[in-house]
Every structure is written in structure tokens, then in C-alpha cells.
Amino acid sequence: MRNADDYFSAALKRLLPADFPLNALVGLVETSIGKMVPIMTQKDLEDDPLQVFAEPYNSLIVSKKGFKNPVPDVPDLAPKDNIKAWVDRKLFIHNLGHATAAYLGFGKNPEWVYLNEALQDREVFQTTRATMLQSADILRALYPGEFTDDQLAAHIEDLLHRFQNKALGDTIFRVGCDLYRKLGPEDRLVAPIRAAVILNKPYDLIVNALKAAISFRALDENGNCHPADKQYFREAEKGLAFVIKHICKLQGITI
């Protein structure tokens, strides 16, 4: 979530007395979590309901300014002055790239189950990479001086390697489902497009990923869609223009 600290602050203020010194006493530390954890299969849950699969990546980016006390000395904790930029790095590159691979993969072969299957396809891999690079260009323009081209390019290569981790067992369904949220105006595809329009940057590849997302219909291992997607599928029957205007909240953009 973008601006999660502001969201929680507003929610707390609605519940606390008007004179409660929230800002003086409570540190709301916005974070950017990059560790990938797939949905557990039914078999995994039956084998051990307490087990969780996760990749080895452990860095946790946090807002340095959110702490009221000194930032604790914890291994792999990465405090940042401009947390907004780093939350958007996660959204514009990690989340966007992950979702793009799932949407393009499903569009090319609906029989593929795992994300690594899609990324083994050269066309899907190269288009996903190019889309991430386009979004990285938008991110760098949005936060001048915060990132370099080389830093973001290296981050993209690392992510593409991590996305292909077969041991993670991550599915195209998990990465792509929950379309109301993932097609929202502040989420992984639409937020970079909106920023690109303001900054006058190219965004055609991201639009192609958005079109693939709108058509995404993958199901889980039991043949079910995500619960929230039932309503989305009904809304999507009203057409592409309806989704763009009422779900993506994009104005003045034709795709």
C-alpha cells in the first residue's frame, strides 16, 4: 500500500480521543516488504498446517523518519530517508514485473501453472524485462536523485532471477489474481501509468501489461477464482472502456 503510514494515522485518529498526542507517542513505520511467499497448496497444508514456504531474500526496507526512538540495530533492516520512493520502487518494479509475467504468461498459454514456466518462454521474459525497465525510467524521473539507472537495472535482473525460483512453487494464479486491487489506481500497473502521463514518459509496454491483466482469468488448483474476482468478472463484461474508467480510474487514456 502506498502511504500506509498516513492511512493508519487517519484510522487511529478516528478511534482515539481528539486530544490524544498520537504524533508525539506513536511511530508509524512504513515498510517495503520484498520477500516472496506463495500460497500453500492443499497438500502442503495437510502435511503441516504451520509450515510456510519463502524465498531466502531477507532485506526489510523501513522509513527512518517513522521511528520515535533510535532505529533498532537489526540485521537486514534497511532504513531509508525517502520511504515513499522505496515503496514505489517495490510497486513500480517488483510488483509490476511479477504481475506482468503472470498476465503475459496466462495470455500466451493458459495451461501454464507456475510463474517460472512463463518466464522460461523467451518472449514473455524479454517483454516482462522491457516493461520493468520502462517503469524504472518513470520511477527515476518521479524521484530525481534517489536511484541510478545502474541500480535499477541490477535490481530488475535480480528480481527476474528470483521470480524463476522453482523451489518457491509460485503460481500464475496467485501472482495475478485479486484484480480489483491490482488494477486499482494506486497499484502496480495503473500508478506507473498515471505518473508517466504527468512526467511525459513512455508507458506503452505497461499499457500492454494492463490489457493482459484485464483479460486474466486463471484459476487455482481446485478450479476456483479468487473470491473478489467473481465481482470483477461480472464488471468486466461491461467492456474494456468500463474497466479503464471505473476500476483503473484512468481518464483520457485509450488502450
C-alpha 172, offset from chain centre: 14
- Whole-number Å distance between alpha carbons of 184 and 190: 7
The phi and psi torsions of 53 (rounded to 5 degrees) equal -95, 140
Question: For 4-247, which CATH superfamily applies?
Answer: N-(1-d-carboxylethyl)-l-norvaline Dehydrogenase; domain 2 (1.10.1040.10)
- Whole-number Å distance between alpha carbons of 149 and 166: 29
The phi and psi torsions of 90 (rounded to 5 degrees) equal -60, -45
pLDDT for residue 56 is more than 80: yes
pLDDT at 219: 94
Amino acid letter for position 3: N
pLDDT at 254: 67
Mean model confidence pLDDT for the chain: 94
**pLDDT: is 222 or 110 the higher one?**
110
The model's pLDDT over 180-237, given as tens digits with 9 standing for 90+, comes to: 999 999 999 999 999 999 999 999 999 999 999 999 999 998 899 999 999 999 999 9
Q: Sign of the C-alpha dihedral, residues 124, 126, 127, 129?
A: positive
- Whole-number Å distance between alpha carbons of 213 and 233: 12
Banded model confidence at residue 39, pLDDT cuts 50, 70, 90: confident
pTM tops 0.85, yes or no: yes
For the chain, give the DSSP string. Answer: -TTHHHHHHHHHHHHS-TT--HHHH-----EEE----PPPPHHHHHH-TT-----S---EEEEGGG-SSPPP--TTEEEES-HHHHHHHIIIIIIHHHHHHHHHHHHH-TT--BHHHHHTSHHHHHHHHHHHHHHHHHHHHHSTTT--HHHHHHHHHHHHHHHT-GGG--BHHHHH--HHHHTSTTSTTHHHHHHHHHHT---HHHHHHHHHHHT-----TTS---TTHHHHHHHHTT-HHHIIIIIS---S---
pLDDT for residue 105 is more than 70: yes
